[in-house]
Structure 1
Amino acid sequence: MSIAGARCLVLGGGGFLGINLCRALLAAGAEVAGYGRRPHDRSALPSDLRWYDGDFADHAAIAQAVGGQDIVYHLLGGSVPAQSNAEPAADVVGSLLPSLRLIEACRAGGTGRLVFASSGGTVYGPTLPGIRITEDAPTNPITAYGINKLAVEKYLGLFRHLHGFDAVVLRVANPYGPFQHARRAQGVVGTALAHALAGEPIEIWGDGLVVRDYLHIDDVAAAMVTAGTYDGGQWLFNVGSGQGRTVRAVVEDVCALLGLPRDRIVHRPGRAVDVPYNVLNPDLIGREMGWAPSVDWQAGLVATARWLRERSAGRRTGA
């Protein structure tokens, strides 16, 4: 199946990944609809995007939206890792249970394929430093968020086994780029750039030596578009750069890009939710789908800073 002309539904189309994915799918010629809460900035959504206003917990609305779709992209789910441990039961109710009902609705409604955006940064849990994590590595998440992502993966595997349900899981690294909500408690790159551009101190949790795998959102969207029509024998893939950067190095790169002194960095106490090291091995998706990251780190950082500046200028002028 070609992505051109395919009927695609993006659940969570108003979020950071969703907006970028909708744009990429439309550019590839797909027929695209979004579902969820619209972003505050309505201009972020393409004008030719069909939209369903709805809540993830509304099973009837979800079932109606997924019916007859060729590809459903599941980007919805729960809180953020740092908040999920405070109320694990709320994450189950708000994310895991609706995800299971979604899988059932897709199967009943004849959905061609479900592509699930899992979390490569949380499902593995603590790993050995210096090792690029492969898909067969142990999974020991230390956040309720990661546990729920992993549980959805397991249910997809169960439905594949019992019913031949067509699903692809993408364990995505730490994405950054345009349309990321820079003031949420997630997304080091966007948060650091936003604070720096606003003349505010840049906070680092702990000593800043936590290592993460950062991937530009254009590369994430490209992987998801490709996964929609993948016809090989695998179904679970890492989507990452394969390169690690400490949080401190990221913030220092932000300061260097904007010509700011490093004394703008403020250290906060470390957090129990942060695994010390997480770098994904993307070789499998490269072999199976021909996907590889294409956006250079510095180029991606420059482009993200430019987008934030333009967004800020637009707000000031009312554009």
Structure 2
Amino acid sequence: MQDKTLILGAAGFIGTNLTLRLIGQNKNLILYDRPEAVYCPEIQGAKQVQIRQGSFTQMQKEDWKKVLPDFAEVECVYHLISTTCPTNSNRDIAGELADNVIGTTHFLDACVEAGVKKVVFLSSGGTVYGKEHTGLCKEEEEAFPITVYGMQKLSIEKLLYLYYQLYNLDYRIVRLSNPYGPYQKPNGVQGAVTTFTYRILRDEPITVYGDGSVVRDYIYIADAIEGILTIAEEKGRYKLYNLGSGQGVSIRELIDTIAEVLHKTPCIRYEAGRKVDVPVNVLDIVRYEQDFGHRNNIPLREGIQKLAAFFEQN
């Protein structure tokens, strides 16, 4: 009986929030992540959760069958795994592509053999479009990523299309903007809202690359999870959707907003701008809203308040 949902990268920021939401829906879940991954207590104690551990980059089709003996019971897969982040992915272009694109190819082969019905892939609205777009980024526009992180995401999107054509493996692609919220690590590698909120709350300095004019599209994690599930479960006209707020906020504006919400004066360290940072990236969400209805996202100020409350309680 195919009644299980498999989440790759389940212990990460998005994976944790997705898992908690699906636990609340009484879904039967198989969670897959690295052996060193740590899950929050609410996930560890859930009865309908099975936790599996292993690699992703070194797995062949036969390896997946060994790690997931009940693969044939999986109806839907959420593919959230990536081996790097945008800021450091260009250090090893060949390795990044091999780990993620070839790794996903082997995994999709295993999905086909197991009879999985649908793969939901978390792409990157922040990196696949590149710097050629000065306005809102639309799904139908050509993508020109400037990091291998964005390139591998785009390549996996094309892989999913290929496997759909060859094997009728259904799929959905979510080009997500910049999510923030509970369970995101405030380490500065990814997640400006989370990192800045955490450090300003503790009177610690924050680092800004460039002059603070870089513009991004931020979405609270609860809204992101709701959108991901809607794209995965509802019958839209497309297999690819942007998911964000549709509104741009500069780094300067973000810091000012956090400071106002927290009633703090931030200590800012400015460093040289980075080549991996696209000047402006804001997603057009018209396609999503036409198919699924208007998005009533949590405003940035309210999201920062919720995040600060989470930090103070944990």
Same fold (TM over 0.5): yes
Out of 106, 110, 113, the position equivalent to 2:118 is 113
The residue identity in structure 1 corresponding to 2:125 is G
Aligned-partner Cα distance in 2 for 1:8–1:214: 27
Of 164, 176, 201 in structure 2, the residue corresponding to residue 160 of structure 1 is 164
- Answer whether contact 1:56 1:62 (CA < 8 A) is retained: no
Structure 2 distance, partners of 1:240, 1:106, is: 29
Quick one: distance in 1 between partners of 2:19 and 2:295? 20
SS of corresponding position for 2:212:
coil
1:6 positional shift: 4.4
Choose the corresponding residue for 1:265, options 264, 268, 279.
Answer: 268
Aligned to 2:108: 103
Task: State the partner residue of 1:292.
Answer: 295
The 1:46/1:40 distance shift into structure 2, 3 A limit, reads closer
Distance, in Å, in 1 between the alignment partners of 2:18 and 2:122 is: 11
What is the match of residue 24 of structure 1? 21
Decide whether the 8 Å contact of 2:219 with 2:297 is kept in 1. Answer: no
Cα RMSD for the two superposed structures: 1.8
User: Corresponding residue for 2:41?
Assistant: 43
TM-aligned CA distance change 1:39 to 1:196, over 3 Å: farther
Structure 1: distance between partners of 2:166 and 2:294? 30
- Cα deviation, residue 198, structure 1: 2.5
Which whole-Å CA distance do the structure 1 matches of 2:200 and 2:164 have between them?
A: 46
- Cα deviation for residue 288 of structure 1 reads 2.0
> Partner residue of 1:316?
none
Unaligned segments of structure 2, at least 5 residues? none
- Give a deviation string over 1:127-180, Cα, whole Å, max 9, x none: 443x22110112000001000000000111111222222010000000000000
Where has structure 1 moved over 4 Å in runs of 4 or more? none
**Residue from 74, 77, 83 that aligns with 2:88:** 83
Structure 1 unmatched runs, 5+ = 312-319
The CA distance in 2 between the partners of 1:161 and 1:297, in whole Å, is 40
The answer on whether the counterparts of 1:213 and 1:279 sit within 8 Å (CA) in structure 2 is yes
SS at match of 1:86: helix
SS of aligned partner of 1:21: helix
Task: State percent identity of aligned pairs.
Answer: 32
Q: Is the 8 A contact 1:20 1:221 kept in 2?
A: yes
Map 1:138-217 → 2, pairs under 5 A: 138-217=142-221
Task: Name the aligned partner's letter for residue 134 of structure 1.
Answer: K
Q: TM-score, normalised by structure 2?
A: 0.92
